[in-house]
Amino acid sequence: MDEEKKNTILIVDDEITNLNLLIHALRNTYTLFVAKSGPAAIEMAKNHLPDLILLDIVMGEMDGYEVLRSLRDIEITQSIPVIFISGMNSQEDEEKGLALGVADYISKPFSPNIVKLRVRNQIRMINYLREIEHLSMTDALTGLSNRRSFNATLQREWGRAVRENESISMIILDIDMFKNFNDTYGHQHGDAALKIVAKVIVGTIKRPADFVARWGGEEFTVLLPSTDMDGAMVLAEEIRAAVEKIEIPHDDGFITRATISAGVSHLMPNKNSAVDKFISDADRALYSAKGQGRNRVVSAVDAM
């Protein structure tokens, strides 16, 4: 792993000697954060979201068991794996930690090599699980997020919009006459068209918070947090115009083009609002765009 992508570890111990030994063993391989008390560790975990926490059990102000319970009660830290550092080696102590969900133990006095190996094993597992999760949320053809990832992002942004009384908008886009395109030019060129359109959509959105996904087949979605209907319509039209200009090359030098239709929905949701209706409004607007001749953008309001 290169310097810019080092895994991060939070080391928590109130003994300076132990901290220095752990830092010396791990500093060349990982990015390290250090806390000398339980409360400081909890704050640092929330602020930095480390990949792994090395946590001493016996500390003066707040012991490791209390820290671990607190971390498990906080949504953003509850899944961070924790390795206990302990001089308590009884079966009862080990059972107590395992019952709280501790990932592993490092016994005091510890060997630097054992520390490195136990940490390495945990980090490998973390990275492996993250890669599996990434693949499960990614469309293999276009490299965009897939529908599962979109749904997870929508739930998160929907909740934030409700809490903060913010607008949220959504665009559903569909490549026009895509079945005919596939039948005429073959699925290989159809795949090329999907990848090119995906690239154009990503290149047109302007904000890091805007989220693009492949909805399925020839459909794409764009989620626009903190965006009203006018802003969503402007962006949808920009995407439509950009796709209309692209050229899709074929192996024999022949060039084809594609167009898209788009439906746009908008809402300032509250706790009684329905996510399904928000999606179906955009879908209904898309089919209205298709019915009006394709290669156009229609809002959910106009579709009614």
Task: Write down the pTM of the prediction.
Answer: 0.72
Burial class (CB in 10 A: 0-12, 13-18, 19+), 237: middle
Give the Å distances, CA to CA, from 44 to 8, 39, 81, 127.
12, 9, 15, 21
Cα–Cα distance, 209 to 223 (Å, whole number) = 9
- Give the dihedral sign, CA 204/250/146/291: positive
Catalytically active residues, by annotation: 218
Q: Which of 115, 101, 83, 211 is nearest to 154 (CA)?
A: 211
For the chain, domain boundaries: 3-135, 147-303
Angle at 228 between CA 223 and CA 233, to 5 degrees: 75
Give the residue carrying structure tokens 């699980």: 129
Which two tokens mark 153?
A: 């992002």
- Residue from 245, 146, 261 nearest 196 by CA: 245
pLDDT (0 to 100) of residue 288: 96
Contact predicate 180/281, CB 8 Å:
no
Which CATH fold would you assign to the domain 147-303? Alpha-Beta Plaits (3.30.70)
What is the pLDDT at residue 88? 61
* Predicted local confidence at residue 91, as pLDDT: 67
Q: Please report the pLDDT score of residue 1 as a whole number.
A: 42
Under 8 Å between Cβ of 150 and 143: no
CATH topology of domain 3-135: Rossmann fold (3.40.50)
Q: What does the pLDDT profile of the chain (304 residues) look like in tens digits?
A: 444 579 999 999 988 998 999 999 999 999 999 999 999 999 999 999 999 999 998 888 788 889 999 999 998 999 999 999 887 665 676 677 677 778 888 888 888 899 999 999 999 999 999 889 888 899 999 999 999 999 999 999 999 999 999 999 999 999 999 999 888 888 888 999 999 999 999 999 989 999 999 999 999 999 999 999 999 999 999 999 999 999 887 777 778 889 999 999 999 999 899 999 999 999 999 999 999 999 999 999 988 7
Tokens of 193: 């068209």
CA proximity to 194, closest of 246, 120, 262? 246
